[in-house]
Structure 1
Amino acid sequence: MDTKKPYLAIILIQSIYAGMFLLSKAAFDGGMNSFVFVFYRQAAATIFLVPLALFVEWKSLPPLSFVTFCKVFLLSLFGITLSLDINGVALVYTSATLGAATTNCLPVITFFLALLLGMEALRLKTSAGIAKLTGILTCMAGVLTLAFFKGPHFKLFCLHHSHTADTAAASSSLTWVKGCFLMLTSVTFWALWLVLQGPVLKSYPSKLLFTALQCFLTSFQSFGIAIALVRDPYEWRLGWNVRLVAVAYCGVVVTGVTYYLQSWVIEKKGPVFLAMSTPLNLVFTMLCSAFLLCEFTSLGSVVGGLLLIIGLYSVLWGKTKEQRLLNEKCVSTGVNKQGTELTVVTT
């Protein structure tokens, strides 16, 4: 059973993320403003995480300098607040399936940004470097396919009739393309957040407090954006409906449960194992959005999603192969050093 726990954990993680896309889309289709939703989501996450972080890590609380605080503030603004706000607008324009599909770009875009910042290397004379370059190009082809090619639409068995499918079918091609590129922009901000976290965590190593501080800051940032753009008091109402469920689910379950589960999986199996489970999110979201939200599934979404998955695995394979070769080189170097020292002592 212990060997199966990581596999059960990644299935649960991707199921939670699929539920996030579905509930967010359902709330937006129900009339909830996306900017208000992001504020409530981050406020719920703050209420959940801040007391937990202070209780767990209060004794080991590291000092927070003004420079580090400014870095965390900017990291929260671009990596979380703007990323979530843009993602919400894109989800209104497109579908939950597209939102799940573009998450497969995240490891590829993260690697590309790390490459531009000099944190990664691309050696085109090796098979690993060629695989990573092929993965980047395939991922770009997948994004273009999602944006510009729809093809015939398929409708699976639906539990109830919803106006979501009618709205999606009637949406203009320009709106869909705009939503695709907004979604890609959101994932790019998310990837930039992942790349720049490392240097900030060196000066503030407490991960749980670091996450709680970001949730606290994004609550104020998203509130400022929402209050500037949404003046109608009715749009701020939650009520006992899908809006409240979506806010509570995204704020508590997604932020709280998946944070712990992802850390546990990375500790047991490593980050590559977790990244390779990302396509499960697309499969779960595509099936559930067809059954529950009655969304149409287009041929372009299927083909684009497959290209994104192929690009993801190509980059991950190249990265894993490079890491394996590096480990073997380190082991070989260590053996040679030990042999040299032994020879000297014998002499």
Structure 2
Amino acid sequence: MGEQLGPYLAMFFVQLIYSGMTLLSKSVFNGGMTTSVFVFYRQFIGAIIMVALSLIFERKQSVPVTYSFLAIFKIFMLSLLGLTLALNVHGIALAYTSAMLAAAIVNCLPASTFFFAVLLRVEKVNLRTKSGIVKIGSVLLCMGGASILAFYKGPQLHIVHHHRDDRQHKDHFSYNNKWILGSLLLFLSTTMWSLWLVLQSQLLKSYPSKLTFMSIQSVSSAIQSFGIAIAFERDFEQWKLGWNMRLLAVLYCGILVTAVSYYLQALVIEKKGPVFPATWNPLSFIIATVGSVILLDEPLFLGSVLGGILLVLSLYSVLWAKSKEGISHNHNSLPIQPYKECAEIKTEIPCSKPPQ
């Protein structure tokens, strides 16, 4: 009984961790923390953890793994696209929009990954089959959901009474230009992660040591993130963490997201396969939505709910199509588990962490 419930409990806690990551990140951004500084700190802590794990688990390999300068350069550029730039864009987008919107857009990742896989001829789609048609439909659902999230707010849904003055929300939610820009940036970060997953799946074929591969990416991203942060934030006060919410958010993302959640997902994928974890992504959207309304006192709009529903439908469309094709057990298939940050250390899903 315990073994049967184990994967379900593990994925429930994983989604709690990811939801907490989104809510904590949004909270510190609302408190004035610079997004680029936050990304650097979380990547720095994540790099320390990944290097430590690599030294612990791969130092006893019978055949030492070496990387040429060209290989390291490729990994460096890959981390620039899928970790450093994507996370910085995502951070700015989160500051401009809401935690709920950021959690919703993650459900678009499998469909956008499929789009790039077909575009780069890594994966083929057969329009004569039902699964092929559903895959195309998932891309359209993804685009429709993202468009609704960006351009349609609709009436505000009053689920709970907001004690704060509505004028306090003006800077974050009332200006359509910031909301639209933030929504587009969220979609941009998702497409960057999708392209990153496709390119990474090809690059990993030549480098079997996933922990070392991820460690190089993490260190590269930490260095790149420091360069971006120091270029955009020269105020030393913004770099101070102290014993406050900023330190909690950085440690949370660096430790719980990078180490605990990825380890739990690795165990679940080993027992249940790569499709099972992805089916739990909507739970993070629900938790983040409730948390953003209750804890962050963010208003909830009809457009956000409708757009989120379309993105969830897009996610399950891809999962259904892949299950029909039997790709869930094919080691050569592309990953469908979101980067949430991703970076899972497994044999079936060659991806790295986004987010961490």
Report the TM-score when normalising by structure 1.
Answer: 0.90
Residue number among 282, 295, 300 corresponding to 1:297 in the alignment: 300
Aligned pair in 2 of structure 1 residues 126, 170: CA closer, same or farther (>3 Å)? closer
What corresponds to 1:27 in structure 2? 28
How is 1:1-347 mapped onto 2 (pairs within 5 angstroms)? 1-60=2-61, 61-157=64-160, 161=164, 166-167=169-170, 170-323=173-326
Aligned pair in 2 of structure 1 residues 203, 324: CA closer, same or farther (>3 Å)? closer
What corresponds to 2:353 in structure 1? none
Q: Is the 8 A contact 1:27 1:242 kept in 2?
A: yes
Cα distance between partner residues in 1 of 2:250 and 2:140: 36
Deviating more after overlay: 295-304 vs 57-66: 57-66
Q: Per-residue displacement from partner, 1:140-199 (whole Å, max 9, x unpaired)? A: 110101011101112433697488962466531111110001001111111112111222
Q: Is the 8 A contact 2:96 2:172 kept in 1?
A: no
Q: Which amino acid aligns with 2:91?
A: G
Q: Which amino acid aligns with 1:211?
A: M
Aligned pair in 2 of structure 1 residues 40, 325: CA closer, same or farther (>3 Å)? closer
Instruction: Give the secondary-structure state (helix, strand or coil) at the position aligned to 1:2.
Output: helix
Instruction: Give the secondary-structure state (helix, strand or coil) at the position aligned to 1:4.
Output: helix
Cα distance between partner residues in 2 of 1:165 and 1:278: 31
Instruction: Give the secondary-structure state (helix, strand or coil) at the position aligned to 1:210.
Output: helix
Q: Is the 8 A contact 2:80 2:224 kept in 1?
A: yes
Q: Is the 8 A contact 1:34 1:88 kept in 2?
A: yes
Deviation (angstroms), 1:204: 2.0
Q: Is the 8 A contact 2:173 2:179 kept in 1?
A: no
Cα distance between partner residues in 1 of 2:17 and 2:134: 30
Cα distance between partner residues in 2 of 1:296 and 1:262: 32
Aligned pair in 2 of structure 1 residues 90, 235: CA closer, same or farther (>3 Å)? same
Q: Is the 8 A contact 2:274 2:328 kept in 1?
A: no
Cα distance between partner residues in 1 of 2:158 and 2:254: 31
Cα distance between partner residues in 1 of 2:180 and 2:19: 22
Aligned pair in 2 of structure 1 residues 169, 194: CA closer, same or farther (>3 Å)? closer
Cα distance between partner residues in 2 of 1:115 and 1:130: 13
Q: Is the 8 A contact 2:28 2:245 kept in 1?
A: yes
Structure 2 alignment gaps of length 5 or more? 331-356
Q: Per-residue displacement from partner, 1:68-105 (whole Å, max 9, x unpaired)? A: 10111011000100000000000010000000000001
Q: Per-residue displacement from partner, 1:244-269 (whole Å, max 9, x unpaired)? A: 00000011111111111121111111
Aligned pair in 2 of structure 1 residues 68, 228: CA closer, same or farther (>3 Å)? same
Q: Is the 8 A contact 1:68 1:203 kept in 2?
A: no
Instruction: Give the secondary-structure state (helix, strand or coil) at the position aligned to 1:205.
Output: coil
| Bigger relative CO (Cα 8 Å, ≥ 6 apart) | 1
Q: Is the 8 A contact 1:10 1:274 kept in 2?
A: yes
Deviating more after overlay: 224-233 vs 196-205: 196-205
Instruction: Give the secondary-structure state (helix, strand or coil) at the position aligned to 1:3.
Output: helix
**Cα RMSD after superposing both structures:** 2.0
Aligned pair in 2 of structure 1 residues 94, 326: CA closer, same or farther (>3 Å)? closer
Structure 1 alignment gaps of length 5 or more? 328-347
Q: Which amino acid aligns with 2:11?
A: I
Cα distance between partner residues in 2 of 1:42 and 1:153: 36
Cα distance between partner residues in 2 of 1:296 and 1:325: 38
Across the two proteins, how many residue pairs are aligned to each other? 327
Q: Which amino acid aligns with 1:230?
A: E
Aligned pair in 2 of structure 1 residues 162, 100: CA closer, same or farther (>3 Å)? farther
Cα distance between partner residues in 2 of 1:100 and 1:201: 28
Larger Rg: 1
Cα distance between partner residues in 2 of 1:309 and 1:263: 23
Aligned pair in 2 of structure 1 residues 73, 323: CA closer, same or farther (>3 Å)? same
